[in-house]
Amino acid sequence: MARRISTIPTLVTAGILAIAAAGCASSGSTPAASAPASAAGAASAAASTAGACAPASGQGQVAVSIKDFAFNPATITAKVGQTITFTNQDTTDHTATVSGGACTTGHITPGSASGLTFSAPGTYAFACAIHPSMTGTITVS
């Protein structure tokens, strides 16, 4: 019995480390499109907005700052085809990741910027994948 008790902490620790490693993993592949948050029916929304969001480089037409662990503004309005540029003014990495994780800026290091361009109208909820309490909404018309 003592042997089982001593292996439980080891198993719990291994599980926690596996979850932490998965949460910190980063992919270099281009993200797929994300469905609008306001669309009814997840499957049909995902199919109808294929290619609706893509990472963008360069300065966009809509500026969002990231400072003090918050997006400013948190409610963003853009037109189809406009690029939303997220500039990180914090001292740690952040992301702007559309709900579901299919479309993301990737890690934005302190002092740098990254953007997203939407090719389909809709309302898109987003958050920082590293700090999930940082949230916002993008409305594309």
129 lies in some domain: yes
116 lies in some domain: yes
93 lies in some domain: yes
44 lies in some domain: yes
Residue 22 to residue 12: CA distance in whole angstroms: 16
What pLDDT is stored for residue 29 in this prediction?
34
What pLDDT is stored for residue 12 in this prediction?
39
Residue 7 to residue 127: CA distance in whole angstroms: 37
Domain count, the chain: 1
41 lies in some domain: yes
**pLDDT by position in tens, the chain (length 141):** 554 444 444 443 344 333 333 333 333 333 333 333 433 333 333 333 346 888 887 677 899 999 999 999 999 999 999 999 999 999 999 999 999 888 999 999 999 999 999 999 999 999 999 999 999 999 999
Domain span holding position 127? 29-140
115 lies in some domain: yes
CATH number at residue 62: 2.60.40.420
Angle at 127 between CA 125 and CA 131, to 5 degrees: 160
119 lies in some domain: yes
Instruction: For residue 108, give both structure tokens.
Output: 């934005």
In order of 2, 51, 83, the CA distances from 126 in angstroms are: 47, 17, 15
pTM of the model: 0.65
Instruction: For residue 141, give both structure tokens.
Output: 């018309």
